[in-house]
A = this chain, B = another copy of it.
Amino acid sequence: MSAVYVIGAGMTQFKPHPDTEVHELARQAAWDAISSSGVSPDDIELAYAGHAYQGQCFGQKVLLKIGIVGLPVVNCENACASGASAVWGVFNAIKAGQADIGIAIGAEKLASAKGGFTPLVADDLESSLGRVMPAVFGMMARKHMERYGTTLEQLAKIAVKNRRNGVRNPYSPWRDEITLEQVLTSPVIAEPLTRLSCCPVSDGASAVILASEKVVRRYTSKPVEIRSAVLASGIRNGVGMADDHSEMTIRAARRAYEQAGIGPNDVDLCELHDPFTIAELVHCEDLGFCAAGDGGRYVDEGRFDIGGDVAVSPSGGLLARGHPLGATGVAQIAEIFWQLRGEAGERQVPNARVGLAHTVGGGVTQIEAGATSVHILVA
C-alpha cells in the first residue's frame, strides 16, 4: 500500500477577516498549497474539506473558485478536529488507490457562522447553564493543580512561550510578546484561566497537498511522509470524571506511535490542541512527552521550548496563532511540513526530523462524544 506524503501547504493569517468571505479565505490557502507544491490544479484527484459551520458543499464551492471541478469532494465535520479529519480522509483515499494527489482544506469564519452543524450550546442543558469550554478547562486546571501541585505560574508560562513562538510566525496575528505578569493579571475568563490563557476567536483557512509514493518524486525532492494517521473518538473528559487526562488522546497516540514505529522521545516538534494553557499541559503528558503530573516541571525547565526536548506549539499553537476550528487541524500539518523542510524561518526548530500533530474536538459535556487525531510526520 502506498506511503503518503505532504508536498505543499498554504495558509491565510489567522485573525478576524471581516471583509473576506470564508470561501475566499479557503481559496487563498488552497491556491498557496497548490502553487507551493508544483502540482497543476488538473492533477488534483480528490479533496476533503473540514469545517463546522460554513454551509453546504463547502469544498466544492472553494475548488470551483480555482476552476477545479469534477473530482470527489467530501465535506467533513468533527468539531475542532474537522480539519484533521480532512487530512485523515485524503490519507485513506490515497492509500485506497482512489487518487495519487489529493488536497485537504480546512477553514472557518467564526465571526460569520451561518447556523452550521449546530448552535454552540443548542440542546445542551449543562452548556446553557454555563458549562462552556472555558469553564470545562478551568475546572480541569483546578483539578490538575490539586492533584499534581501544578501552579498558575507554570500554566501562564505556556501562554508566554506560545506567544513568543507566535510572534515569529507570520501567520499569527500577534507581533508583541507577553509577560508572565500580563498573563496572570489579564481578566479572568473562567477561574483560574485568564484571557491570555485562552485562544482567540479567529477566521482563517489552511490547505495541504498529499501525494502517493508513485508520483511524489515528480514534485519534490523533499517530501514529508505522513507515517501514521490515527483518528479516534471517546468521551470528553472533564471535572467529575475519574481522570483529568484525555483518554482519547492517550489511546490515539499509542496507536500512532505503534503505526509509525516511533516513540515520544523521537518527536522533535509537536503541534497539539492548546485552546487553553491547561490543555497544552495535559496533552503533553498524554502524548508521552513527560509523565502525568510532570508537565509543570518540564515547562519550568523549558523542555517544551524551541530548542528543548520537544518543541511544543512552535507555530504559537491555538493560543498564539489562533483557532478557526476547521482550519486548525490542517494548519498543524502545514506547520510541521514547513518545519521538517527547514522552512519555518525565525521559529524554526533546529534539526527537526519528526513532528506530531494532535487535535481534540467535541462537545463540552461529559456524556458527549468527541474526536481526536494524531498524525506523525517524518522528513
Residue A122 lies at the interface, judged by CB distance under 8 Å to chain B: yes
Residue A303 lies at the interface, judged by CB distance under 8 Å to chain B: no
Given contacts A60-B371, A61-B368, A61-B369, contact A71 B118 (CB under 8 A): no
The stretch of A94-102, A142-150, A285-293, A343-351 that contacts the partner chain = A94-102
A76 & B79 in contact (Cβ 8 Å cutoff): no
Q: Taking CB as reference atom, which chain B residue is nearest A2? A: B96
Q: List residues of chain B with CB within 8 A of the CB of A69.
A: 233-235, 369
Q: Find A78's partner among B74, B115, B235, B371 (CB 8 Å cutoff).
A: B74
CA distance A232 to B68 in the complex (A): 12
Q: List residues of chain B with CB within 8 A of the CB of A72.
A: 88, 230-233, 371
Residue A265 lies at the interface, judged by CB distance under 8 Å to chain B: no
CA distance A77 to B251 in the complex (A): 27
Residue A40 lies at the interface, judged by CB distance under 8 Å to chain B: no
Chain A, interface SS category: mixed
Residue A209 lies at the interface, judged by CB distance under 8 Å to chain B: no
CA distance A230 to B70 in the complex (A): 12
CA distance A259 to B115 in the complex (A): 39
| Nearest-Cβ distance from residue A350 to partner chain B, whole angstroms | 34
Residue A363 lies at the interface, judged by CB distance under 8 Å to chain B: yes
Most B Cβ at <10 Å: residue of A77, A91, A122:
A77
A117 & B370 in contact (Cβ 8 Å cutoff): no
| Nearest-Cβ distance from residue A104 to partner chain B, whole angstroms | 12
Given contacts A251-B70, A363-B56, contact A64 B369 (CB under 8 A): yes
